[in-house]
Amino acid sequence: MAFLKDFSKTLSSVAQTTATKTKELAGTAKINLAIAAEEREINKHFTALGEWYYETNNANPDPAVAETFAAIEACYAKIEQLKATDAASSPQNAEAEPETVVEIEITCPSCGEPTTGAFCSACGKKLEDE
């Protein structure tokens, strides 16, 4: 019986160690999450600091950061270019701003009459979206 007693003691000790390890891991994960949250906070402040610096030194950037300024300018230019392209060619954009939607006249595939909207004004057939 001494063997069984020892065996159960060992099991209980293993279980306790596992529980402690699990607790430690949970604690580590918690700490890592808290660290990540602080790092996000720091990044937010660095971004704000960078934006402030950019706004206040835009006209006359320090040579040390001139390259970064140029990269930012290039990104702004690219965004403007993308916006212009999107406004000119995107039907999704027209849907997002219904006040600027221009009804496009199409020919009804069913009756051949010119019409606008989701349904043919002549025969009432549902018109597919382009």
Q: Is 111 in the site for Zn ion (CB under 5 A)?
A: yes
Toward Zn ion, which CB reaches closer, 27 or 114?
114
Toward Zn ion, which CB reaches closer, 76 or 119?
119
Interface with Zn ion (CB under 5 A), residue total 7
Chain mean position to CA 58: 28
Q: Is 93 in the site for Zn ion (CB under 5 A)?
A: no
From CA 25, how far away is CA 22, in angstroms rounded? 5
Which parts of 58-128 fold into alpha helices (H)? 66-89, 91-96
Contacts of 114 (CB under 8 A, 6+ apart): 105, 106, 107, 108
Q: Is 122 in the site for Zn ion (CB under 5 A)?
A: yes
Return the closest-CA partner of residue 120 out of 101, 91, 100, 128: 128
Q: Is 119 in the site for Zn ion (CB under 5 A)?
A: no
| From 120, 126, 128, 129, residue interacting with Zn ion (rule: CB under 5 A) | 120
Interface with Zn ion (CB under 5 A): 108, 110-111, 120, 122-123, 125
